[in-house]
Amino acid sequence: MAKASWKGVTIAETDEIEHVEGNAYFPVSAIDMSKLEENPGFGTTFCHWKGHADYYDVVVDGERLEGAAWRYNAPYGQAENIRDHIAFWKGVEVMGGPEGPGYVEPQPSRRDGKTGWEALCWLLRHPSSQVLSEADVQANTDLAGDALRDAWQENDVQRYATRYRWTLEDGEDGIVLRQSDGEPVSIE
């Protein structure tokens, strides 16, 4: 039985979790939704294969743990198994879930027709080489020139660039994306 609790209060409990990327996703039906409050001010985050996540605060006895739960309301097809599920972090204790990563991004990963900054996130995660020309980027994202520079400023693109160690540089033939060596950077 998987269980999520904070400050000794059970928030969710079930035998029916979805185990994705090391996180236990609890079905909404197994969650005490009176302990969660939507937090649109916390912002959303983007995953190139799961979609856009919205956040909830966990509230127990008047105390609030901001952004401690997330949900993909409209997950991409590769992550349809987490529709109507919520996961927890930031101090919420999850016990009884399986070990290991669980279901992870299918390989080979599919761009699934995404364009713009969403496709740029996918490309930063799945590059064909450690140096990408502006033409390489445009072929995979439809972004070039000022549109590429604008997309580079998106919060989620910056998260991907930091995590996978990418920089945007001006080259002789236009914009160049360059990846440094090493393991991905852990970002919370």
Q: 22-59: per-residue pLDDT in tens? A: 999 999 999 999 999 999 999 999 999 999 999 999 99
Q: Tell me the pLDDT band of 117, cut-offs 50, 70 and 90.
A: very high
Res 154: pLDDT:
96
What is the distance between the alpha carbons of residues 103 and 146, in angstroms, rounded to a whole number? Answer: 37
Mean pLDDT of the chain: 95
User: In this model, does residue 188 exceed pLDDT 70?
Assistant: no
Strands (E), 28-79: 36-38, 45-47, 51-60, 63-71
DSSP letter at 49 equals T
> Among 16, 11, 58, 54, which Cα is nearest to 31's?
11
This prediction has a pTM of 0.85
Q: Domain 2-95: give its CATH code.
A: 2.170.150.40
CA atoms within 13 A on the CB side of 129: 8
**CB 169, CB 152: distance < 8 Å:** no
CA atoms within 13 A on the CB side of 120: 29
pLDDT per residue as tens digits for the range 128-156 = 999 999 999 999 999 999 999 999 999 99
Q: Nearest 5 degrees, angle CA 108-CA 111-CA 117?
A: 140
